Structure 1
């Protein structure tokens, strides 16, 4: 088991990765805020062995709770929240656990404003912590891609998603996996106001639609995000889980000079390396970023960056990655073929999105688009339940009961004994083709369904009215279907008695939980073609 490394504030600081000799030193104290005023008062004590970072280097406070870190003219100093403590929150339920040091501010020519000049480095940058009760068993809430492009779409986000979870109990905090808005960064305040309504501490990461586009360097693409949310790369602890949040959108694309590419800058992975030096290997490490690690021959994610990340995690047997971006829902498992260094595969949950198929489709009874995603997954959000090193992910479809986990698609009526290619399709939203999915007719014996690597016909049916009606539908046509990673198929039985029959499908997820869906169809007497004269 790796021991936590304790740093001594001494000349050893000169060996930190930043070139300290050419930079200033940020100093301060991490303290127990006994009176809750956010200020270090004379009688308040420093807290030892708390990790503090400048975005690259990570050190532990000394016995008096003091730290020193080198800073240049574009650094964010932040405390890495330890388990058993909480940080102060602002009016939007966002952590006030960082200090932005940009003496000259962000570049002046940004389309959306960045950080105003912060001036000289303060004499002391202190961070307040409060004692908190944190159990090893806890629940978090996960949003993929809220991604509102307009004020109207922000209303959709509020109605379809936020209204369902306002005041929710038994959840420790929430996390949004990027694309908080859709390119219009002036909507960030509206997004923050929506999140504040939920009433939970909330963490955010940057997506490709949260960027400053009119910049020449990737390190400047997060200037407005930093203004509105703080550091784009950070970490924190809760219970027995260590969370690492990273911006993995490289912009401009280092290969082409335009567009974006999934990956990391060297200093980001240096931060991960330095951060993990203070994380025991018995801890569950959860990484969160926007673009999935599935690099598809390097076209979407730099494989060398993923490999270094995997190398850094090789001593940690308990890991999980969270991503979004794709507007589908997929379970990825990385093994030795993808460069993973452990016998147990690394699980990445590529989450379905709150915006679904970009707020497209017909309007439901709430006046919001149905927004079913291209792989047949309805829009919604996820919960993750942690228990020490274990976790369980569950998906909640917006506007539906939590038991709705499988969608069935099949003909409603078939001819008795008539030759047909009709089939039962089961879309198990949280599934993958390693799961067991079975069906039974009229309560009979369970039979295996077969994985189907194809588009979901239920989604094709959603598209049909948009392409065939002669009247204009309200809303916006959904995007074209794509192959689903969690679809099963079996031929529809037609050699049964005339009448109504019940289809039951059950699916067992990766956590041993069995989900079930039911439907009916009719068998009618066969009608032959009329004789041709």
Structure 2
């Protein structure tokens, strides 16, 4: 059995690889559209614009994918990640999960869609370099707008969501791949009129009742999957809970819901510009292996290029994660 490893890559990137008992298998060069889900639940999710579609793995029990978050417009770093995904990693990953903040959206007062649309399209032009389909869990920089000039009034808006759907793709959904099911959540649902945000410095985030109901139906319909992976932007267990946590009732709803399912392998988030394991806080050199039936692993991966809030912290380094699924083990 191979051990978890951490590889130091030139250009100051760190790739944390989850490797355990994996077998190299041939890959089909073609890609396919994520299959339409016949069962109730979340809507079927497509990859972001221009990054292609997916083909099933040659072996449904053995496949590889990568995870990264919070690139913002640092194309020096994220383009190197894309290049390594396409040309360096072996076996070549089948797809990528992005955990949001693919841009650094600066809300406009009054609203002006042109700057953010230009920034989104610029990211998409770089994302093609990865050569694999990319699925994104949008964050505050993609979907927030401001009520006035006070930055603490940033809230998800319908205008921003409509723009994102037009340029990038769906804000949430799910798809099957091999023996696993993948869920991408939108932690920036448009709130009901009059809903108040948290007290600063905590930022607003929200998952509405419709998405929560679809999520529960989706989880119920996929109890037979060996693994379920959940990707989202705002974390449930952040390093700084008074500032960066998924807000209030949405967080509690997910905690209670996820506890009902024994096959949720990993819940992956970003927002904090670190690599952080809330259940092994000082460990920044290995990633916990998951075995079917074990406790859900929570990880934060926000090191794809955004500036570090405190570069002196042990969690502050540019990185991405490589997941290798081998049957019941990840």
TM-score higher than 0.5 here?
A: yes
User: Partner of 2:278 in structure 1?
Assistant: 332
Matches within 5 A, 1:62-461: 78-79=43-44, 92-95=50-53, 133-148=58-73, 153-158=74-79, 160-167=80-87, 168-170=89-91, 171-183=93-105, 185=116, 186-213=118-145, 218=156, 220=158, 221-249=160-188, 254-256=195-197, 260-294=203-237, 296=241, 300-319=245-264, 320-333=266-279, 345-357=295-307, 374-391=313-330
Q: Distance in 2 between matches of 1:321 and 1:243?
A: 10
Q: Distance in 1 between matches of 2:244 and 2:57?
A: 44
Count the aligned residue pairs: 261
Structure 1, unaligned stretches of length 5 or more? 1-35, 39-48, 60-77, 81-86, 96-128, 335-342, 361-370, 392-533
Q: Distance in 1 between matches of 2:38 and 2:78?
A: 35
What secondary structure, in the 3-state scheme, does the structure 1 residue paired with 2:307 have? coil
Contact 2:164 2:171 (C-alpha < 8 Å) held by counterparts: yes
Q: Distance in 2 between matches of 1:91 and 1:269?
A: 25
Structure 2, unaligned stretches of length 5 or more? 1-30, 106-114, 148-153, 281-292
Greater share of residues in strand: 1
Q: Say what the alpha-carbon RMSD is for the aligned residues.
A: 3.8
Post-superposition Cα deviations, 1:412-457, rounded to whole Å, max 9, x if no partner, equal xxxxxxxxxxxxxxxxxxxxxxxxxxxxxxxxxxxxxxxxxxxxxx
Q: Distance in 1 between matches of 2:303 and 2:230?
A: 18
How far apart are 1:228 and its partner, in Å? 1.9
What secondary structure, in the 3-state scheme, does the structure 2 residue paired with 1:332 have? coil
Q: Distance in 2 between matches of 1:197 and 1:135?
A: 26
How far apart are 1:142 and its partner, in Å? 1.1
The higher relative CO (CA closer than 8 Å, separation ≥ 6) is in 2
Matches within 5 A, 1:462-477: none
Greater share of residues in helix: 2
Q: 1:373 to 1:165 in 2, by over 3 A?
A: farther
Q: Distance in 2 between matches of 1:239 and 1:206?
A: 24
Task: Normalising by structure 1, report the TM-score.
Answer: 0.43
- Give the structure with higher Rg (CA): 1
What secondary structure, in the 3-state scheme, does the structure 2 residue paired with 1:353 have? coil
